[in-house]
Structure 1
Amino acid sequence: MSSSVASADARPGGGLSRRMIFLLALTCGVAVGNLYFPQAVSPLVASGLGVSPDSAALVVTAAQFGYAAGNFLLVPLGDRLPHRPLIAVLLGVTGIGLLGAAGAGGLPGLFGASALVGVTTVVAQVIAPMAAGLVADDRRGAVMGTLMSGSVGGILLARTFGGMIGEWLGWRAPYLVAAAVALCLATALTFVLPATVPTSRQPYPALLAEPLRLLRREPGLRRTCVYQATIFGGFQAVWTGVALYLTGPEYGLGAQAVGLLALVSAATMVSAPHAGRQVDRRGSDPVSLAVMIGTLASAGVLAFGGLGGMAGLVALAAGTLLLDVALQAGTIANQARIFALRPDARSRINTAYMTCSFLGGSTGSWLGAAAYGRFGWTGVCALLAVLAAVGLTRYLLHRPGGAAETSEATGDITGNAEAKSRS
């Protein structure tokens, strides 16, 4: 382990106070929320700029693609640059991008500003590795759970915030408010974030290539990426399918029903810290096993949504809640596992992990739409069960003392030796 990481981990009290962890969770929620409040605002953008709803919806797509680019291009810099200025600058540029979006006179300008916001609002993916390096090992899961609660809260509240402010004051108002919050957080964190020392001196092109090398060298990272890609893929498949199902002939409900069903996820704000404490107490692998089993169970519960009527709606609510809890718990366990692999390369490891997660989610969304179109809601539930079974099979192949375990342990030793030689 590099001396800089060791000194950070050795800070009194684990390195981060509860007040600081709360501020970081708030920052994660604000950053993630910047990707979601435009979804509620896009109809207002269409009427305000005099364009079609389909064209206005591309504003959200621009932000999402920007976010994917930011994960690849900027998150690895968390190992190369001090976290305090990096996070402050990213938030500051996000605020400027939001101001640009608020002042856009047409769709091209709004697209460009939204893409910039997407690229720089990857702050949550920079904060998580930083926090993992600033707390003691036995607190890492709890801290990851708190940060996850902040992100979930940002996702849930962003749409409500965007819709309410937009209805009252017009579509530009949510962008202005979000810009003010981002700039205030950038200013505050400039003064209160603890100082950190970069763990890598690699040039930027080498940083970009490192996540692929880490995937090849770290068996623990590879299996964790399989866990996340399969469960997140199933999650995206379900939410793609359930939107079609609720608004289709079986239920005949409006888009508001999908939004109300999504509010069920609010329970994960409470469950995420508990999952983090379980990771600290029992380890990541037992929690991952519970996640796989819980995801399989959610597929069975969701299948009862085919009953229709109130019984079907209750099954859909219960199943999506179970699936959401499983996803958040799995994400916390996965991040705790990967951040323990290579303390000198946490941001680069997180880049590899998030890229696999994004690919799994995108594929799951596509497969979910295809499964619904061909087999209906039963096909979506079957797809979720298959993806969970793939993750569970990969978990069972990782038996204590087995070949996979031995191979992974050898890989971890090799990776740690390489890290020491570089430091």
Structure 2
Amino acid sequence: MVLFLALTCGVAVGNIYFPQAIVPLIASGLHTSADSASMVVTATQIGYTAGIFLLVPLGDRLPYRPLLVTLLTLAGLSLLGAGCAPTLPVLLAASVLVGVTSVAAQIIAPLAAGLVAADRRGAVMGTLLSGSTGGMLLARTFSGTLGESLGWRAPYLGAGILVLALAAVLVRTVPATTAPSRAPYPALLAEPLRLLRAEPRLRRSCVHQASVFAGFSAVWTCLALLLTGPAYGLGSQAVGMLALVGAATMACTPLAGRLVDRKGPDPVGFVCLLGVLLSAVVLAGGAAGGAAGLTALTLGTLLLDIAMQSGMLANQARAFAVRPDARGRLNTAYMTCAYLGGSAGSWLGVNVYDRAGWWGVCALLALLAGVPLSRHLLARRTARSGADMRLPREGAC
């Protein structure tokens, strides 16, 4: 069941990421600029953020199976609508709907966390994250390859059919559950904001992930512009093939989950932040073009994928430990902040790329990774100073 839920996560998450590989094809097909076409990525992420805030809390109020089937059905229909969009404004509107309804992965995470013991939760979350990572990577490859051959509409139409088929299967495979809360819907919407104000560990997880995910989104949104631009002159298929390199992340996230179970989320999260910072340095070499630049992009995106996904797992584990009876609302607060960061990162990345090129995008990634890293180091120093003050002075009884 965990493996099937991981597959569902992958299909749902793929809806958010596959437009990144076909931005140049959308621009060409709809006769608009690449900057305007890149708004499709931002619109999908904005919709996803809204869906997390508005719909994920329902996981604490409604049985999971009908909720998941309904959302996937609506997502499939939205994808088909996007594939038939005649103009960019219509595509942007459909992209928002795709994002809003593609939040199945964020409902599955609390479901799975409640089905296993606490000492296995990190490993199970790692397996689900592997499914999400696989969906993210394969979606880019799928859309880049299919779009290069059949046009930008084909990935949307293919994804819509796949999601509708999965919804039909979920009707019989997801176990029946009872809702853990009977709170009214307005109270469920207000609860994530209250939890953010009241829980420092939740706020810390949100700040860390929002910053890192903003840099991650900036890199992947601009990568298609770099590879299809004059420095490389490649097609959209190259973006999808480069994304396949990150398949190693699927093997790393279960390991990261087991490390979180043994060591706790803080050490794992700290190492992941250092990995993001290092990836910015490696990715900067991609501005050179040629074989050397492509090698730098390959190694840099691999490191960035592993660090971001493993850090997401550590931050989510910290957030879920705050209140076991409110995991849906905790996940709402956490993922809303993360995807607000991702949406802002996509927008920032395109604007920075337009003004400062690939070097500017890499500098933006380093700056965004430095925000949670400095907070982490400051928290460690404060904790160490407090521990030193509690030690008895020499000669004291």
Q: TM-score, normalised by structure 2?
A: 0.83
Find out whether 1:33 has 2:14 as its counterpart: yes
Taking the aligned partners of 2:88 and 2:214, their CA distance within structure 1 comes to: 31
Find out whether 1:321 has 2:302 as its counterpart: yes
Find out whether 1:361 has 2:342 as its counterpart: yes
Residue 99 of structure 1: CA displacement?
4.6
Find out whether 1:302 has 2:283 as its counterpart: yes
Distance 1:233 1:404, change over 3 A: farther
Aligned match of 1:266 = 247
- Contact 1:398/1:404 (<8 A) preserved: no
Distance 1:134 1:236, change over 3 A: same
Aligned match of 2:394 = none
Residue 351 of structure 1: CA displacement?
1.4
Distance 1:184 1:197, change over 3 A: same
Find out whether 1:253 has 2:215 as its counterpart: no
Aligned residue identity for 1:140: R
1:224 to 201, 205, 229: 205
Residue 263 of structure 1: CA displacement?
2.9
Distance 1:405 1:146, change over 3 A: farther
Aligned match of 1:125 = 106
What SS does the corresponding residue of 1:35 show, helix, strand or coil? helix
- Contact 2:20/2:41 (<8 A) preserved: yes
Deviates more, 1:327-336 or 1:188-197: 188-197
Residue 280 of structure 1: CA displacement?
1.8
Residue 260 of structure 1: CA displacement?
3.7
Taking the aligned partners of 2:73 and 2:60, their CA distance within structure 1 comes to: 20
Taking the aligned partners of 1:364 and 1:84, their CA distance within structure 2 comes to: 33
Correspondences of 1:5-404 after superposition (within 5 Å): 20-38=1-19, 51-53=30-32, 62-101=43-82, 113-162=94-143, 164-165=145-146, 174-246=155-227, 251-256=231-236, 257-305=238-286, 308-372=289-353, 375-399=356-380, 402=383
Aligned residue identity for 1:313: L
- Contact 2:266/2:314 (<8 A) preserved: yes
Q: Which runs of 5+ in 1 are unaligned?
A: 1-19, 407-423
Aligned residue identity for 2:300: G
Distance 1:156 1:142, change over 3 A: same
Residue 334 of structure 1: CA displacement?
1.0
- Contact 1:43/1:53 (<8 A) preserved: no
Deviates more, 1:129-138 or 1:172-181: 172-181
Aligned residue identity for 1:120: T
Taking the aligned partners of 1:141 and 1:262, their CA distance within structure 2 comes to: 25
Taking the aligned partners of 2:362 and 2:155, their CA distance within structure 1 comes to: 36
Aligned match of 2:392 = none
Distance 1:364 1:43, change over 3 A: closer
Distance 1:65 1:237, change over 3 A: closer
Residue 202 of structure 1: CA displacement?
1.9
Taking the aligned partners of 1:103 and 1:380, their CA distance within structure 2 comes to: 33
Taking the aligned partners of 1:382 and 1:373, their CA distance within structure 2 comes to: 14
Aligned residue identity for 2:251: V
Residue 65 of structure 1: CA displacement?
3.4
- Contact 2:6/2:131 (<8 A) preserved: yes
Aligned residue identity for 1:69: A
Distance 1:309 1:271, change over 3 A: same
Instruction: Show CA shifts across 1:244-302 (max 9, x none).
Output: 555555x3433444444333222212222222222122221110011122222223333
Identity %: 65
Distance 1:366 1:95, change over 3 A: closer
Residue 313 of structure 1: CA displacement?
2.8
- Contact 1:265/1:324 (<8 A) preserved: yes
Deviates more, 1:24-33 or 1:185-194: 185-194
Residue 38 of structure 1: CA displacement?
4.9
